[in-house]
């Protein structure tokens, strides 16, 4: 069968609308992932053993289970417990929480890469704990992990099509519904692939720039 350029042109606006949902879901999820990841990391350093172990198990569990059943869990189980979420909200929350367990690992490695001397100096200066963290440790740790965090943004973008499992009309599901209307799947599905590659390649170039900027002190 032949590639139909006219048809391709017709479906582009719809696909771009789908792409916008994909991007919005990814960015909102990313905010959750970046903030919650830091919370996990800090909780894993509290003196309370129970809290530390609980956080370890919860994050390990989330990291080791796939996104789609997690989406089902949030979308279908929460209403049983009295919290009804829209599919987009459920998708964003699941995506964010899932990736927060990865960003937590990144922060942890970033924090343990901060030289011991920095901690010792902060202790010698008798800084309060909050200032040790906010003014000494975190600024250095976060700086180092920025490129890695950027990579997770790309990874989340590529996981966002999974949200169609709970009925979010993002890019891929838009293409699927166009296809089922016209019975022409080749153009919409291929264009989805093209759009994904374009966005990922652009963002990986940006991440590489970040790397060059932050990798060397």
Partner 1 sequence: MSEVLDGYEQWLKGAWLTLQLTVYGSGVALVLALVFGLAGTSRHGGVRALNRIYVEFFRGTATLVLLYWFFYALPLVGIKLTSTMVAAVLALGLNVGAYGAEVVRGSIKAVPRAQYEATVALNFTPFQRLRRVLLPQGFALMLPPFGNLLIELMKGTAIVSLVGLVDLTKVSRNLQGSTGETVAAFTVVLVLYFVVAQVLQQFVRLAERRVDRMLGRRPSREPSLGTISAGAPGAGVSS
Q: Decide whether 34 or 192 has the Cβ nearer to partner 1.
A: 192
Q: Decide whether 92 or 148 has the Cβ nearer to partner 1.
A: 148
CA angle 83, 102, 44 (to 5 degrees): 85
Residues near 128 by Cβ (< 8 Å), separated by ≥ 6?
none
Q: How far is the CB of 103 from partner 1 (least distance, A)?
A: 10
User: What are the Cα distances from residue 143, in Å, to 82, 138, 214?
Assistant: 41, 8, 6
Q: How far is the CB of 124 from partner 1 (least distance, A)?
A: 26
Indicate the helix (H) or strand (E) that contains 208.
helix 186-214
Q: How far is the CB of 72 from partner 1 (least distance, A)?
A: 5
Q: How far is the CB of 147 from partner 1 (least distance, A)?
A: 7
Given the rule CB under 8 A, which residues bind partner 1? 1, 61, 64-70, 72-73, 76-77, 80, 102, 105-106, 109-110, 112-113, 144-145, 147-148, 151-155, 158-162, 164-165, 172, 175-176, 179, 184-186, 189-190, 192-193, 196-197, 200-201, 204, 207-208, 211
Question: Long-range CB contacts (< 8 A, 24+ apart) of 174-182?
Answer: 174/14, 174/15, 174/17, 174/18, 175/11, 175/15, 175/18, 178/11, 178/14, 178/15, 182/7
Q: How far is the CB of 150 from partner 1 (least distance, A)?
A: 9
Distance CA 25, CA 91 (A): 8
Q: How far is the CB of 139 from partner 1 (least distance, A)?
A: 16
Q: Decide whether 109 or 127 has the Cβ nearer to partner 1.
A: 109
Q: Decide whether 81 or 130 has the Cβ nearer to partner 1.
A: 81
Q: Decide whether 99 or 122 has the Cβ nearer to partner 1.
A: 99
Tokens of 160: 């966002």
Residue closest to 194 by CA, chosen among 30, 16, 6, 1: 16
Q: Decide whether 42 or 68 has the Cβ nearer to partner 1.
A: 68
DSSP percent split of the chain into helix, strand, coil, nearest 5: 85, 0, 15
């Amino acid at each position: 069968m032949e590639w139909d350029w006219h048809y391709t042109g017709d479906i582009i606006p719809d696909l771009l609308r789908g792409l916008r949902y994909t991007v919005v879901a990814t960015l909102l999820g990313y905010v959750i992932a970046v903030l919650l990841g830091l919370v996990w990391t800090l909780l894993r350093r509290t003196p309370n053993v129970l809290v530390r172990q609980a956080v370890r198990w919860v994050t390990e569990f989330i990291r080791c289970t796939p996104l789609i059943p997690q989406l089902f869990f949030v979308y279908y189980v929460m209403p049983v417990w009295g919290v009804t979420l829209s599919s987009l909200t459920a998708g964003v929350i699941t995506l964010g929480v899932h990736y927060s367990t990865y960003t937590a690992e990144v922060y942890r490695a970033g924090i343990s890469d901060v030289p011991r001397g920095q901690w010792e100096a902060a202790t010698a200066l008798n800084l309060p704990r909050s200032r040790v963290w906010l003014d000494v440790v975190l600024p250095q740790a976060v700086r180092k992990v920025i490129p890695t965090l950027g990579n997770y943004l790309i990874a989340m973008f590529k996981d966002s099509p999974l949200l169609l499992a709970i009925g979010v009309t993002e890019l891929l599901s838009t293409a699927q519904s166009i296809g089922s209307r016209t019975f022409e799947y080749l153009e919409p599905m291929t264009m989805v692939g093209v759009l994904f590659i374009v966005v990922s390649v652009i963002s990986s170039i940006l991440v590489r720039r970040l790397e060059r900027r932050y990798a060397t002190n």
